[in-house]
Amino acid sequence: MLVAAAVCPCPPLLVPELAAAAAPELDAARAACTDTLGVLAAARPDLLVVVGPAEESAHGTHAEGTPGSFRGFGVDIDVRLGRAEAGTAVPAPSERRLPPSLAVAAWLLERTGWSDAPIQGLGVGEPWEAERCIEVGRHIAARAERVALLVMGDASACRTLKAPGYLDERAAPFDASVARALGKADVAALKALDTERARDLKASGRAPWQVLAGAAEEAGLSGALLYEDAPYGVGYLVATWS
């Protein structure tokens, strides 16, 4: 059963070395992510599942110890998703690697010294329909007696003229509705997110949030919104469910 969840944004710019001189702009987001991971640790889960958006080649599960990297973004930083158990084969550089969203999660977990439970990763696709995401969430919640989720994903990328998706007047109301749902642990509202609207607004978190909704159906958790802002015209949200 799901006992806790953390929702974090997944821009590689969370890594200060990548953001360089602009790193202080996301200090508050980094601090909120640290706080929400503390909530996960306090829940003492038997299993942590990290869910994030991924390209088709990275859909599906990623074992503990799977490597990731930010070299493609211009910084010489490598990460791993937790620590592989003794005797576990770790993928070679030419084999399966973490998508950027899970690499950011791995960096956050390393930064906070996570060692509280085994970790599994799951890359989900933007085209996945709500029903599929919700069903995946249900299966995740049944994997262990005490399951925690770290859910990575951004809100709209259309909040300003300079945003990656340019300005769309629908973006701010969409992000506000997601922030309310995450802040209240409103499972029904997350399930009802408009898939097409999310796609139009380039909201990478839609599918991961709906996985969370499926996992939390029977959990009865309470939510708290820790951070909400749109630097660079992209909506970033941090929330805890416990």
User: What is d(CA 209, CA 51) in angstroms, rounded to the nearest whole number?
Assistant: 9
Q: Which domains, ranges and CATH numbers included, belong to the chain? A: 2-241 (3.40.830.10)
**Tell me, what's the pLDDT at 94?**
47
- Closest alpha carbon to 126 in 201, 206, 193: 206
**Tell me, what's the pLDDT at 84?**
54
Q: Which residues in the chain come in under a pLDDT of 50?
A: 85-94
User: What is d(CA 99, CA 197) in angstroms, rounded to the nearest whole number?
Assistant: 24
pLDDT digits (tens, 9 = 90+) for 162-172: 999 999 999 99
pTM recorded for the entire structure: 0.94
**Tell me, what's the pLDDT at 34?**
96
**Tell me, what's the pLDDT at 91?**
46
Distances (CA, A) of 152 to 57, 98, 201: 18, 13, 17
**Tell me, what's the pLDDT at 114?**
87
Beta bridge partners of 120: 49
